Structure 1
Amino acid sequence: MSSSTSSSSLPSGLAVLTTFPDVLFIPEIIIGGLVWILVASSRVPLPMLQGWVMFVSVFCFVMSISLLCLYFCGVHGGGSGWVTLDAVCQVTAALFYLSAAVLEAFATYASAEMFPGQLYRENIAAVVFAFVATLVYVIHEVFSLLRWKSS
């Protein structure tokens, strides 16, 4: 794999799947989709908290798919404005997912006695995948910021 931190441009076409930070779109989409599914299928003891988690997972899912499709199509053309947009999107997603993961963990902890068994395990899985998604977004964020700094 080639590292895109050495160049300041974004890849286009299938090169998106061969550059390090951009290949992270795939796990972001998969893990974010799992968070979305797990939260949607669980009971909602605290609607405001889990509503935020649903918003974050859907928003980041759509944002990641949109950016991936735009990079595949080569819409960005090589402008440095797209490098800035990529960095801003990754920072936003990482902060959103961190807040969502913490709130989902709190909602799961608060509902431990109300929903024992399978529903509680779904919430625990949602917490684990939310923190994994946060980690993937933070890694992507770091390398996007390095690319932005070098542009």
Structure 2
Amino acid sequence: MSSATSGTSLPSGLRVLLTFPDALFIPELVFGGLVWILVASSRVQSPMLQGWVMFVSVFCFVMTGTLLCLYIAGAHGGSSSWVTLDAILQATAALFYLSAAVLEAYFTYNVGLVAQIPGYLLIYQENIAAVVFAFLATLIYVIHQAVSLWRWKSS
């Protein structure tokens, strides 16, 4: 049986911002916030697709921000259940963001077919940026998930 070592335990205080993978909270918040802003500012053509993207970006932004604040405050107290919570959150966020990025790319492709019509070019450009940031957020969450699962297995 392995026990939690200092390499696998969760940091607290400002050390959260200096340790890997916990330092990935900041780019997750930045890219997730950009997806949120870009999708919210564009004209909604398909409420079901873009509604899911908005839900994912807001949900992951709030959960990541909350978890970051709790880690900085030291609320976890070194408990191994927080390592499990971190692994579950990162896995869920990675899966959600992958689905949202694919749906946003599908929507953007469809808008691109009519981008020559006046008024659709701006929508197309905003959604291209949202797709890029959604896939970047997905990549960051997948990296964070992989390291969190390794940390969970080691604890």
Q: Normalising by the residue count of structure 2, what TM-score does the alignment of the two structures yield?
A: 0.92
Dislocated runs of 4+, deviation >6 Å:
none
Flag structure 1 segments of 5+ consecutive residues without an equivalent: none
Q: 2:125 aligns with which of 121, 127, 140?
A: 121
The match for 2:65 is: 65
Residues 8-23 of structure 1 aligned to structure 2 (within 5 Å): 8-23=8-23
One-letter code aligned to 1:55:
F
- Cα-to-partner distance string for 1:110-131 (whole Å, 9 max, x where unaligned): 1223453222100000001000
TM-score (norm 1): 0.94
Counterpart CA distance in 2 for 1:147 and 1:92 is 16
In 2: Cα distance, 1:120 partner to 1:98 partner: 20
The Cα offsets for residues 12-70 of structure 1, whole Å up to 9 and x where unpaired, read as 00110111100000000000000000000111111101000000000000011000000
Q: Does 1:75 align with 2:75?
A: yes
Length, aligned pairs only: 147
> Residues 57-103 of structure 1: CA distance to partner in whole angstroms, max 9, x if unpaired?
00000011000000000000000000000000000000000000000
Identity rate of aligned residues, in percent? 73
**SS where residue 30 of structure 1 aligns?**
helix
In 1, the alpha carbon distance for the partners of 2:73 and 2:153 equals 24
Shift of 1:6: 6.6
Contact 1:36–1:54 at 8 Å: present in 2 too? yes
Given residue 143 of structure 2, which amino acid in structure 1 is its aligned partner? I
Q: Which residues of structure 2 form unaligned runs of 5+?
A: none
Please name the residue that 2:137 is paired with.
133
Question: In the alignment, residue 13 of structure 1 is paired with which amino acid?
Answer: G
